[in-house]
């Protein structure tokens, strides 16, 4: 069958399709060309650059499109609702980037605790500000993890290896799935954590999980990490509590808008930011691409995929 890949992908992923007898077109198409071309293909594989909007899905459904693969976790760049209505399966790779995102979140915690990026910048300006960069340790501190999925669990393992106490909150989970980590209420987590790391999706209808009220409930000097999705933290509220001194530092890989438009956050001296690179490692990209290609080929050969994002939606429309 015919596969269209419109975002950067490793050769070995293209080869996987070819080895199974599929014809692959790999071209980072612009939005208009994608709209014109998509109906010719049975499968469309994207990462996050390509926006698979309603019109693209509609055009695909008018032609041969049967499956959309997202080589990653979040499917916010795909109109999953329309795909479901039109019988197009959406698959992803939820396990591909787990370790990479957890490692970035952990690296962020260490960077903030010791002001590593700030100290590096200062050195490069020719300064020697030994007294300015007095940090804090991770050892003996409490890490509060919000969202106890795969990434939260990997982060907990790393934190415990650094002698941190880990507590977690997840509104969908009653019993902790992470060994040696107890589930606590959100109030307790906010009150007791020295570090807080978010690992939850952004739900538009619900808005940010961390707003003024949540910042108000936090410990003084808290360090907050968001490598999940922009929008789960209210950026204006974050700025207020950074300026007020309650939040010692914030580490952000994701933003309400990407690239970020609220520059006060990005430029703030107590904020460490990266450009949504949680899954951007060699290993995670190959893993995610491989898993997604396999999932797409399962659909195309009439099998039920393991990571079928719109399974429930398709059953109800
Ligand atoms: C994902 O959802 O896979 C990651 O956040 C990476 C990305 O969207 O680029």
pLDDT band at 186 (very low <50, low <70, confident <90, very high): very high
Which ligand 1 atom sits closest to the C-alpha of 97?
3
pLDDT digits (tens, 9 = 90+) for 206-258: 999 999 999 999 999 999 999 999 999 999 999 999 999 999 999 999 999 99
pLDDT digits (tens, 9 = 90+) for 3-20: 999 999 999 999 999 999
Write down the pLDDT at residue 157: 97
Which residue is catalytic, options 22, 47, 158, 229? Answer: 229
Catalytic residue list contains 22: no
Catalytic residue list contains 211: no
Write down the pLDDT at residue 238: 98
Catalytic residue list contains 258: yes
Write down the pLDDT at residue 194: 98
Write down the pLDDT at residue 317: 76
List, chain by chain if needed, residues with CB within 6 Å of any ligand 1 atom.
48, 72-74, 97, 276, 278-279
Q: Choose which residue among 45, 47, 72 to substitute to test ligand 1 binding: the one with the highest number of ligand atoms within 8 A of its C-beta.
A: 72
Rounded mean pLDDT, 78-102: 98
pLDDT band at 278 (very low <50, low <70, confident <90, very high): very high
Q: What is the 3-state secondary structure (H, E, C) of the chain?
A: CEEEECCCCCHHHHHHHHHCCCEEEECCCCHHHHHHHHHHCCEEEECCCCCECHHHHHHHHHCCCCEEEECCCCCCCECHHHHHHCCCEEEECCCCCHHHHHHHHHHHHHHHHHCHHHHHHHHHCCCCCCCCCCCCCCCCCEEEEECCCHHHHHHHHHHHHCCCEEEEECCCCCCCCCCCCEECCHHHHHHHCCEEEECCCCCCCCCCCECHHHHHHCCCCEEEEECCCCCCECHHHHHHHHHCCCEEEEEECCCCCCCCCCHHHHCCCCEEECCCCCCCCHHHHHHHHHHHHHHHHHHHCCCCCCCECCHHHHHHC
Q: Which residues contact 57 (CB under 8 A, 6 or more apart)?
A: 65, 68, 78, 79, 82, 83, 86, 88
Q: What is the mean pLDDT of the chain?
A: 97
- Measure the CA–CA gap between 244 and 116, rounded to whole angstroms: 22
Which residue is catalytic, options 22, 150, 158, 276? Answer: 276
Report the CATH fold assignment for 2-96+282-316. Rossmann fold (3.40.50)
Residue 171 has pLDDT above 90, yes or no: yes
Rounded mean pLDDT, 177-184: 94
Rounded mean pLDDT, 44-65: 98
Which ligand 1 atom sits closest to the C-alpha of 254?
5
Q: Choose which residue among 77, 279, 289 to substitute to test ligand 1 binding: the one with the highest number of ligand atoms within 8 A of its C-beta.
A: 279
> Nearest residue CA, atom 9 of ligand 1?
48
Write down the pLDDT at residue 110: 98
Rounded mean pLDDT, 168-197: 96
Q: Where are the domains of the chain?
A: 2-96+282-316, 98-273
Compute the distance from residue 136 Cα to the ligand 1 centre, in Å: 30
Which ligand 1 atom sits closest to the C-alpha of 71?
3
Write down the pLDDT at residue 122: 98
**Complete edge-to-edge strand list for the sheet that includes strand 43-46:** 23-26, 2-5, 43-46, 67-70, 89-92
Compute the distance from residue 279 Cα to the ligand 1 centre, in Å: 6
> Nearest residue CA, atom 8 of ligand 1?
48
Write down the pLDDT at residue 223: 98
Compute the distance from residue 22 Cα to the ligand 1 centre, in Å: 26
Q: Which two tokens stand for residue 291?
A: 């898993």
Compute the distance from residue 254 Cα to the ligand 1 centre, in Å: 10
- Say whether domain 98-273 belongs to CATH 3.30.565.10: no
- Measure the CA–CA gap between 36 and 51, rounded to whole angstroms: 14
Q: Do domains 2-96+282-316 and 98-273 have the same CATH topology?
A: yes
pLDDT digits (tens, 9 = 90+) for 26-35: 999 999 999 9
Write down the pLDDT at residue 174: 92
pLDDT band at 316 (very low <50, low <70, confident <90, very high): confident
* Residue 289 CA, distance from chain mean position: 16
Write down the pLDDT at residue 208: 98
Rounded mean pLDDT, 158-184: 96
Which ligand 1 atom sits closest to the C-alpha of 77?
8
Which ligand 1 atom sits closest to the C-alpha of 228?
5
Number of neighbours of residue 269 by Cβ within 10 angstroms: 10
């Amino acid at each position: 069958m015919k596969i269209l890949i419109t975002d950067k992908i490793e050769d070995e992923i293209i080869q996987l399709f070819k080895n199974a007898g599929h014809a692959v077109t790999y071209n980072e198409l612009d939005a208009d060309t994608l709209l014109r071309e998509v109906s010719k293909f049975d499968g469309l594989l994207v990462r996050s650059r390509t926006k698979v909007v309603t019109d693209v899905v509609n055009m695909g459904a008018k032609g041969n499109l049967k499956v959309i693969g997202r080589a990653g976790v979040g499917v916010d760049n795909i109109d999953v609702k329309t795909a479901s209505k039109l019988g197009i399966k959406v698959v992803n790779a939820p396990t591909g980037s787990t370790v990479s995102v957890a490692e970035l979140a952990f690296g962020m915690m260490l960077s903030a605790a010791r002001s590593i990026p700030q100290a590096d910048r200062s050195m490069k300006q020719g300064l020697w500000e030994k007294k300015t960069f007095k940090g804090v340790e991770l050892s003996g501190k409490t890490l509060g993890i919000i969202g106890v999925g795969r990434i939260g669990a990997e982060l907990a393992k790393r934190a415990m290896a650094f002698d941190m106490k880990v507590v977690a909150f997840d509104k969908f989970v009653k019993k902790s799935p992470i060994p040696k980590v107890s589930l606590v209420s959100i109030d307790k987590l906010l009150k007791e954590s020295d570090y807080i790391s978010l690992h939850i999706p952004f739900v538009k209808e619900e808005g940010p999980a961390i707003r003024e009220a949540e910042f108000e409930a936090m410990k003084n000097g808290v360090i907050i990490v968001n490598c999940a999705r922009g929008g789960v933290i209210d950026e204006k509220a974050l700025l207020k509590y950074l300026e007020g001194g309650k939040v010692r530092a914030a580490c952000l890989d994701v933003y309400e808008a990407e690239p970020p438009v609220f520059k006060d956050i990005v430029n703030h001296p107590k904020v460490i930011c990266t450009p949504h690179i949680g899954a951007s490692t060699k290993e995670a990209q190959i893993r995610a691409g491989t898993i997604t290609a396999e999932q797409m080929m399962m659909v195309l050969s009439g099998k039920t995929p393991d990571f079928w994002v719109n399974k429930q939606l398709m059953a109800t429309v």
